[in-house]
Chains A and B, each alone.
Chain A
Amino acid sequence: MKFRTLALAAAIASVGLSSAVFTPAAHAQASEQFFPVLVYRTGAYAANGNPWANGYVDYLKLVNAQGGVNGVKLSYEECEFGYATDRGVECYERLKGKGATVFQPLSTGVTFAMTEKAPVDKIPLITSGYGRSESQDGTVFKWNFPLLGTYWVGADVAIQHIAKQMGGMDKLKGKKIALVYHDSPFGKEPIPLLQERAKMHGFDLQLLPVAHPGVEQKATWLQIRRDRPDHVLLWGWGVMNSTAIKEAQATGYPRDKMLGIWWAGAEPDVKDVGAGAKGYSALALQHGAEPNSKVVKDVLALVHDKGQGTGPKDEVGSVLYMRGLISAMLGVEGVAAAQERYGKGKVMTGEQVRWGLENLNLDQAKLDGMGFEGVMRPVKTSCNDHMGAAWARVHTWDGAKWEFSSDWYEGDASVLGPMVADAATKYAAEKGIQRRTAEQCAE
């Protein structure tokens, strides 16, 4: 009896000892998949940057709560850059050294700077709904992934929607459409496509730039009052959007003739204006406010109810929160796809994740299984197409919340395709990049 107790005690002690000795080593070995998170929780665009960042981080927490990616836990670190390009680059350099999986800068300026650095550092770049439109062409932009949509898709869908409201593309002839845009690469990105469409359908495109950060728009809206365009496209971000809507109210421009890009269609943009923004519509990049979807319930149950939530609880499911969440999901799915090829349960390198993102295949069943039923449509990428989907809807602010007000639209490939190819070819020539061949793609 006594001997047995002793033996048992010795066995337990040895197990305990060995685990104590080996745990640190084992811990270091099964290291985690590191997600750098570039955020702007301060500065002029903080109101929009915050929910995005909270959604992004909450999803990473959710994946961990559900056991990680095939058992690989995710780790992350935030780096605040306040939408300033040079600080964003500093953040990139800082987090890169920690084994970054994928970067999502949420700033067109930083995207441009990183596009130069990513191929050297071999880290993929997801720019879901922003960035260079021509980076859809994966044979030239090997490391860029403008998943779900680019500004050209956005502009194309916006014109389609306006035409549908008028009763057909032919009705656009002779109409006046004004583009009120943030005077930066972000705001200028849609112009080539709108000009192309203007040529095709014979409408008149009026370009009205607004200087950063967009609080001074009096002159712009006076011009709109004078010229009375039939529609106004709003290409703003942050404080520029609410200012524009307030100015529209002040000048008496009908809000239901205004259509915003997906970065001008979230709660912070209209909350301040409240009822004054009623009727204002904006594009929704695949998703809008989805407070009743399963993934939102999962986040609430597994993250927020455990006291792990990143931001306020009532923000979960709002437009930008969902965008952050979906952005994180795309990155995580890139890792999962890479694991299918390079070994399940292993930590993936940036290069392997790039392959995963290029061979992403999220069909509806898979999305529904992850809780994105009714939120997203399928995404399938390839070497030629780094965007994966070109779907968007329109949602309208009813004075208290965003409601979907249109069916799905798809960016017209016959218009977008040649433009993307042309711009990508020009970029490749400028930078001396050889297009990847079919064999190189298959690697």
Chain B
Amino acid sequence: MIYRENGQFKTSYLADQQIFTIAQDKWFVLGLIAFAAIGVPMLADEYLFRAILIPFLLLSLAALGVNLLVGYCGQITLGAGAFMAIGAYAAYNFMVRIDGMPLVLAMLLGGVAAAAFGILFGIPSLRVRGLYLAVATLAAQFLCDWAFLRIGWFTNYSASGSVSVAKLEAFGWVINTPTEKYLFCLIFVVVFALLAKNLTRASIGRQWMAIRDMDVAAEVIGIRPMFAKLSAFAVSSFVVGVAGALWGFVHLGSWEPAAFSVDRSFQLLFMVIIGGMGSIMGSFFGAAFIVILPIFLNQFLPFVGGLIGVTVSTAGISHAELIIFGSLIIFFLIVEPHGLARLWSIAKQKLRLWPFPH
């Protein structure tokens, strides 16, 4: 009834090529962005910003980058954490070594550095695929862990191997309060999500998808596998690298290589698988599931325990959190192997016919 495209006629090619061809979709997403930019800063408190919203946004951005490679181009990667680390450390080095380096430029250059390494570690993808490629990208992870721990130059010879950033400032805007940090991240996320969406709709995205679906067939119809695969690695690593730079600069402020360990790589891959491969929206769902759900459970369980008059120990809560979280992952993967994004689109399909399904 509400969600129905009846009567929306497209009279031009331009209208037909919109990202959201259905007006309700368009208004919903625009409304969501407007709410995130205006409504949330008025409603949320500091805890919500610093502990939940900023990590959620940044990991969504990283998951988005991984999704471009894994979901759209079909190249499994376990090196996402490494590319985040490269983005963060490269941005740090640009800031430290070049006087007066603008923050945003340093972050984008961090992304470029990550993209260069992405291409380098994408080269094996020309020969190996599937799980073997995943193992090959894992090498990137171990190399980066090693390099940032051992090579003093990267960390500006800090004794403990951890680096920290001075105050953040972009275009004369001093980013200090949690709200400002949140908005700064939000701008990056919105711009990159839009770019990614358009990339996947353009010829390059179609090439990736053709490679994903069947690389031999794609080659036969004239798609160059080398260009398609390496460009997917480059774009994906760029986005992940920028997310890593933001994670280090805005969220952590000071970090060590452990912040981008192999756990982070797995976490990002799981976000993509649970959220939905080959879906921009899915990256956000996946990030929300992995970032917010454990924290929610951690606070919700004592509350439930309090209601029924049971005090659960801290360790008990933590164990229960892991059990429930794990079961939910299995539940969602059984119910919908294509991820939460697929559930979302099923819901939209149902909504079209609602309330008269027949």
Contacts and interface: CB of A to CB of B under 8 A. Distances in A.
A115 B252 CA distance: 10
Contacts, number: 93
B206 interface: no
B254 A116 contact: yes
Interface string B50-61: 111001000000
Contacts of B298: 80
B159 A192 contact: yes
Contacts of A185: 160-162, 256
Interface in A178-233: 183-185, 188-189, 191-192, 209, 212
Contacts of B314: 39, 41, 53, 78-80
Consensus secondary structure, chain A interface: helix
Interface residues of A, number: 39
A86 B259 CA distance: 8
Residue among B51, B164, B295, B313 with most chain A CB within 10 A: B51
Contact of A431 (B47, B164, B322): B164
Interface in A36-90: 39, 41-42, 46, 50, 53, 78-80, 82, 85-86, 89-90
Interface in B156-170: 159-162, 164, 166-167
A15 interface: no
B315 A42 contact: yes
Contact of B253 (A80, A82, A113, A184): A113
Interface in B311-358: 313-315, 317-319, 322
B159 A188 contact: yes
Contacts of A431: 164, 166
Interface string A111-130: 01101110000000000000
A185 B162 CA distance: 7
Contacts of B289: none
A288 B50 CA distance: 38
Interface in A133-187: 183-185
Contacts of A188: 159-161
A189 B159 contact: yes
Contacts of A82: 318
Contact of A115 (B254, B313, B318): B254
A430 B164 contact: yes
A274 interface: no
B149 interface: yes
Given A85-B258, A185-B161, A191-B159, A97 B166 contact: no
A93 B258 contact: no
Contacts of A117: 253
Contact of A90 (B167, B261, B295, B318): B295
Given A185-B160, A192-B159, A430-B166, A112 B46 contact: no
B255 interface: yes
A209 B149 contact: yes
B45 interface: yes
B159 A41 contact: no
Contacts of B160: 108, 112, 132, 185, 188-189
A109 B295 CA distance: 19
A96 interface: yes
Contacts of A50: 315
Given A116-B164, A192-B159, A97 B47 contact: yes
Nearest to A39: B314
A366 interface: no
Given A86-B55, A112-B255, A432 B167 contact: yes
Contacts of B319: 42
Interface in B33-68: 45-47, 50-52, 55
A41 B149 CA distance: 28
A38 to B, nearest CB: 10
A184 B167 CA distance: 25
A313 interface: no
B164 A423 contact: no
A347 B161 CA distance: 39
A113 B137 CA distance: 29
Given A80-B317, A185-B162, A93 B46 contact: yes
Contacts of B46: 93, 96-97
A35 to B, nearest CB: 14
Contacts of B315: 41-42, 46, 50, 80
Contacts of A39: 314
Interface string B159-189: 1111010110000000000000000000000
A116 B159 contact: no
A50 B318 CA distance: 13
A432 B166 contact: yes
Contacts of A90: 51-52, 55, 295
Given A42-B319, A97-B46, A423-B159, A109 B258 contact: yes
Interface in A322-347: none
13 contacts: A42-B319, A85-B256, A94-B299, A97-B45, A112-B255, A115-B164, A132-B160, A184-B256, A185-B161, A185-B162, A189-B160, A191-B159, A432-B167
Given A41-B318, A184-B161, 17 more contacts: A53-B314, A80-B314, A85-B256, A89-B51, A90-B55, A93-B50, A112-B162, A112-B164, A112-B256, A116-B253, A116-B254, A184-B256, A191-B159, A192-B159, A423-B159, A430-B166, A431-B166
Interface of B: 45-47, 50-52, 55, 96, 149, 159-162, 164, 166-167, 252-256, 258-259, 261, 295, 298-299, 313-315, 317-319, 322
Interface of A: 39, 41-42, 46, 50, 53, 78-80, 82, 85-86, 89-90, 93-94, 96-97, 108-109, 112-113, 115-117, 132, 183-185, 188-189, 191-192, 209, 212, 423, 430-432
The 10 closest A-B pairs by CB, nearest first: A116-B253, A41-B315, A185-B160, A93-B51, A78-B314, A90-B51, A80-B318, A42-B318, A192-B159, A80-B314
